[in-house]
Structure 1
């Protein structure tokens, strides 16, 4: 459960009208996402040596972390309930957390344990959670078409539930992206498309792969609204998502939001990132210290509030890590269980 703190005396609303409680909640979500990934980073690298053996350790295999992209998750998911569907990418943890996924079950899945969401069979790129209608995949743009199916079901049932499909800017050049926008527009489906532009499609800069500066401009080709948020600004994401979600819930159809966000760490853990000329400057663009500074200057947060938020996040995360470590590994004899054939 997220703890909403009372704002400090003298707290001022943001220029966009957001109250102190909402701004605090956005910060709490961002801190929880980052705290979680810092812990996963620690556990992932703890036993990969000597050298770096991707197959070793408590968390074997690849690991894609989303540090720096927290404003997208916090700003978008603030408008969703767990009855809404969310499809994500191979870099999914921030979105899963912001959408309310159980930290213990998610962590156990990442550690390959029997108590995980998929009984330890899927790992961190394949988190499927019926309780929060969340799914993700390692296939580029894969989440867009399933979101259409979910949105179509919600529309047919005459509910106000919506689907949100998140992908990276590299996936905006995939056929699945364009086919999904076209069909969603044609059927006026209650879906919000979100593009996380972190500048790098693995190691390829967006300007080398994409013909236009903003994927939000592509929305016009399908007759739907498109909006790009610069500077990884969580309150701007919140406002854009509020408009798009409101449109989808009211029967107005789909929208596209692109957020110019930031990948603080490598494409995967072990990525040397020699392709990034701006790497030395990246930490200075971290959105969490920047937002904390803004909220302190506005009187929304003080030292005690920040300490409580960070301590609460750390307690929740360490509880989930301990739960995963103490959970049993799947019995090798059950390798053919839970499959279609």
Structure 2
């Protein structure tokens, strides 16, 4: 159908379906008969009226609000999108990240997805997901908890609540954020429609983050779509003992990037200069010592005093220089003098190797 739209346009296709003429090239007799039956059941005016009753609208390629990145799907791009919500889908999609994962997620996965959703939204990024149970719902809730932008992509009509248990969440998305769908109002989801929905999530965003996924998971389909489109693909690692981490870890063994927080995600999908902070362990006082002074400190025994001569041999440092470094260490509170010897001051926070 996408190829026909590029070649003939919608008016000619509709006219062909409504006539008794031959099928368009590429469709067999049985397939053409099925398309004609579907065309007979189509009531676009009724669909538009039903969407408007629920505060919805219809977008098609070329409209000012149409997200042009969907055109990267080529002939597989949506013919149009049904939208509920006030914000502009195009502007919200310019800085957007997909956060997807398992429906039957763990507490770890739900917690991680909610934090990622909140942190990304606070930094001005739109969180896109599928409004499903588990990771999807947690990501949406995290974004809305900080009054941030989020988009729910449905595999049914925008006036439907699926899954039914997320009716309240879906209505909140329509009121406070955005809901979008390819299917007209009233259409119910099927297995194949969930798979098709995933390509929209991947194309709409700059990158896809998978939080938890088994080896066979719909979220991995989204990630593979993102890879084919040249989008960033990211995964959040989990316990190696969890089956819900196996799919993510398989992605990470390939081309996906490992991420642990919003800053690392934005470093990949953002603009130049949006860098994640350096990761370093806690600094301790001995980190500031010069190499020679640190060597003298390391040469001191753990317990009891030691003479300067013995210490200088252990530190491979002349006695006069070792003594100078000992006085420096005493001023800094690392060592103390005990008769003719020197010993460590017991202070775990100061002498910890860290």
In the superposition, the TM-score normalised over structure 1's length comes to 0.30
Rg: which structure is higher?
Answer: 2
Between Structure 1 and Structure 2, the one with more helix by share is 2
In the superposition, the TM-score normalised over structure 2's length comes to 0.29
Bigger relative contact order, structure 1 or 2, given CA contacts below 8 A and separation 6+?
1
